Amino acid sequence: MSPSADASEPLPTSSIDPDDGAIAKLFAVLLAGEYAAFYRLVAESSMAPDEDAGIAIARMATSEFAHYEMLAEQVTRRGLDPVESVVRYRKVFDQYHDATTPKTWLEALVKAYVADGLAADFYNELSQMLPASVREVVASVMAETGNSQFARDHVNAAIAADPDLRSPLTLWGRRLLGEAVTHTQWVLAAEDDVMDLLFAGASSLHGVADFFETVSARHAQRMADLGLG
Amino acid sequence: MSPSADASEPLPTSSIDPDDGAIAKLFAVLLAGEYAAFYRLVAESSMAPDEDAGIAIARMATSEFAHYEMLAEQVTRRGLDPVESVVRYRKVFDQYHDATTPKTWLEALVKAYVADGLAADFYNELSQMLPASVREVVASVMAETGNSQFARDHVNAAIAADPDLRSPLTLWGRRLLGEAVTHTQWVLAAEDDVMDLLFAGASSLHGVADFFETVSARHAQRMADLGLG
């Protein structure tokens, strides 16, 4: 059976209990990711060339923290502690960020754009596997803010001005995807019940393969948006 | 005439035109302060001992940036550019922050608490001198968020645990006020029309004296809240 045939079958999401403890844990993982994203975005903005860029990054970081607050409310309602969730799950995100520390402002912009999009894809794929009531929470977290338009415009302009930038930034984009996939798999491997929650509806191996295939396809589109790939 | 006699007379705020160009400029100054506060709070949070503290600082920083966004809307509506406003006015705030770089996490917490309060006082004093329609904007920017409760609780607990911390942190608090007053005066001296706007209602010298006297009195109360002074 091809992955695309699998993907066309609706997943039996309604069989998942909205109060499943694994949903709380999934939200706790995502919350730690938003916390890490807030601080990394601001740290990486130290390379920002001007105030225009500084404002755009502050806006993106603020949006990540708003997501944190939404998830913290959900996590608390489901009986987990947001602070303990950050303590427990931030390490894998810190490792991802350590493995993808940008060396130039353009690398930082590509990372901000790609990470924002990967997170949105990830939330989107997740929402399709979850009960309707939980789906709404995920949808509001991932709501498009248009904040990454700034990154897209600037990367496109930089490549137009200097086509030699295209090749190294394309490699950088591939590395960002590779590291994101690797680190996501680490989280899933460590949290069996979250893995089961996400991929219980499909034959597990195909479900995982489809998931990463969809994310990769969207990443390729985003690279094209940036004028890369 | 004593300053307190001056303070009891209502200022003739209604004589100020809500579209006065100096109001746009005042908002532009405040906006640059919020931008600087966002980045300094996050930078100074590198000393945060744990995730609980990291979350509290991210929450305060996010709130500063929300103020930035509100002021940016006002500044834009009044014909100025928010980015150019940051470029033009951030320097004096950066100088303030450079002059008050905390050396310990407790100094960072005292600074966060004191600066948050000083900013609220400043907005509050301002709002009384401005036309009613503008006052509402200032009031919404300064709205109490309760974000600095975290700083208060932690400083109080630290001093209770080690009373020797009281004296150096009290000196630190005095320095924070002194630098804030000095830097505010620099801004006002450089922007005659903003100075005129703020203190036109009262005999200028008394108006300025009252302003800083009120801010100092509230600062003393805040130091007491922290268990200092």
What's the gap in Å between the CA of A50 and the closest CA on chain B?
Answer: 8
The number of C-beta contacts closer than 8 angstroms across A and B is: 60
- pLDDT of amino acid B127: 75
Contacts of B17 (CB under 8 A, 6+ apart): B131
Averaged pLDDT, B90-117: 94
Higher pLDDT, B10 or A201: A201
Q: pLDDT (tens digit, 9 = 90+) per residue, B135-182?
A: 887 777 776 556 778 889 999 999 999 999 999 999 999 999 999 989
- pLDDT of amino acid A73: 92
* Alpha carbon distance B55, A35 (integer Å): 8
Question: In Å, how far from its chain's centre is CA A88?
Answer: 18
Residue whose tokens read 């338009």: A149
* Residue B14 confidence class, pLDDT cut points 50, 70, 90: very low
Question: Which whole-number Å values give the CA distances from A117 to A218, B124, B184, in the listed order?
Answer: 8, 41, 42
Among B31, B35, B39, most A C-beta atoms within 10 A, so best to mutate, is B39
Contacts of B188 (CB under 8 A, 6+ apart): B194, B195, B198, B208
AA letter at B208: V
* Domain map (residue ranges) of chain B: 17-225
Q: For domain B17-225, give its CATH number from 3.40.50.150, 1.20.1260.10, 3.30.70.100, 3.40.50.300.
A: 1.20.1260.10
Q: For domain A19-225, give its CATH number from 3.30.460.80, 2.40.30.170, 1.20.1260.10, 3.60.90.10.
A: 1.20.1260.10
* Alpha carbon distance B37, B106 (integer Å): 18
Contacts of A33 (CB under 8 A, 6+ apart): A89, A93, A119
Provide the greatest CA pair distance for chain A.
53
| Structure letter (DSSP) for residue B143 | -
Q: Is B51 in Cβ contact with A90 (below 8 Å)? A: yes
Using a CB-CB cut-off of 8 Å, the residues of chain A touching B38 are: 58
Question: Considering Cα of B90, then B91, then B97, then B100, what sign does the dihedral take?
Answer: negative
* Alpha carbon distance B165, B174 (integer Å): 15
A37, A40, A41, A45 alpha-carbon torsion, rounded to 10°: 180
Q: Is A83 in Cβ contact with B52 (below 8 Å)? A: yes
- pLDDT of amino acid B146: 62
- pLDDT of amino acid A133: 80
Provide the greatest CA pair distance for chain B.
53
- pLDDT averaged over every residue in chain B: 85
pLDDT at A142 over 60: yes
| ipTM computed for the complex | 0.85
Q: Which two tokens stand for residue B14?
A: 């209604």
* Chain B residue nearest residue A87, CA to CA: B51
Q: pLDDT (tens digit, 9 = 90+) per residue, A45-94?
A: 889 999 999 999 999 999 999 999 989 999 999 999 999 999 999 999 99
* Residue B85 confidence class, pLDDT cut points 50, 70, 90: very high
* Residue B43 confidence class, pLDDT cut points 50, 70, 90: very high
Q: Is B38 in Cβ contact with A58 (below 8 Å)? A: yes
Indicate the length of chain A as a whole number: 229
Q: Is B35 in Cβ contact with A54 (below 8 Å)? A: yes
What's the gap in Å between the CA of A55 and the closest CA on chain B?
Answer: 8
- pLDDT averaged over every residue in chain A: 85
* Residue A177 confidence class, pLDDT cut points 50, 70, 90: very high
Q: Which residues of chain B have a Cβ shorter than 8 Å from any chain A Cβ? A: 35, 38-39, 42, 45, 50-52, 54-55, 58-59, 61-62, 65-66, 68-69, 82-83, 86-87, 90
Question: Considering Cα of B219, then B224, then B227, then B229, what sign does the dihedral take?
Answer: positive
Among B31, B38, B154, most A C-beta atoms within 10 A, so best to mutate, is B38
